[in-house]
Homo-oligomer: A and B are copies of this chain.
């Protein structure tokens, strides 16, 4: 039993370490985008392999615990949630890498005027990620729910950004290439927000035992 608790703690510890790495990768890719800080992008690239390796290790650890300890009830729920969160984190890490690549590429192109809404979106998404991970650490269903309600704000900002970028491309052919980078960056940020939402849903599943995936009405009512 002691051994089992130790294994669960190890799983929790590694998942937190992975969270920290992914949160930092997102922060750094946004720094490169918003502040033009190239160094941050390179650190994101350096840490990519470690995040990928960590995902495999966490998955292996979760499978080993399932096989050897045959956990039930709350512990089983924690382990399956951990596996899902692990996979969300790895995808968020990929999106941070892609964002950093595009942010670097933007620094080398004639770019449209700084898009205020992209910076807003980036900071909103960062805060969603932070809240989702804090909610997981603290098993805080209330905090998890605040992540779910940020969805609408993300959609509004995304629409505003797309409209602005399409107008920019229509008015100035020399800005087409950089606008396309911005389009994909906005899409990456929106997807990172989706993954943060998935993690928040996993936290609700873990804390309350309620599966809120695909049930927007339940989520909003909460």
Complex contacts, A83 vs chain B, CB 8 Å = 80, 83
> Which residues of A line the B interface, CB within 8 A?
49, 52-53, 55-56, 59-60, 63, 66-67, 70, 72-73, 76-77, 80, 83-84, 87, 162, 166, 169-171, 173, 176-177, 180, 183-184, 187, 211, 213-214
Majority-rule SS of A interface residues: helix
User: In the bound complex, how far is the Cα of B17 from the Cα of A117, in angstroms?
Assistant: 42
A68's nearest neighbour on chain B, judged by CB, is B72
Q: Copy number in this complex?
A: 2
Distance between A161 CB and nearest chain B CB, rounded to angstroms: 12
Complex contacts, A80 vs chain B, CB 8 Å = 63, 66, 83
Complex contacts, A72 vs chain B, CB 8 Å = 67
Complex contacts, A66 vs chain B, CB 8 Å = 66, 76, 80
- Among B49, B166, B177, contact of A180 (Cβ-Cβ < 8 Å): B166
User: In the bound complex, how far is the Cα of B216 from the Cα of A52, in angstroms?
Assistant: 12
- Among B67, B70, B214, contact of A56 (Cβ-Cβ < 8 Å): B214
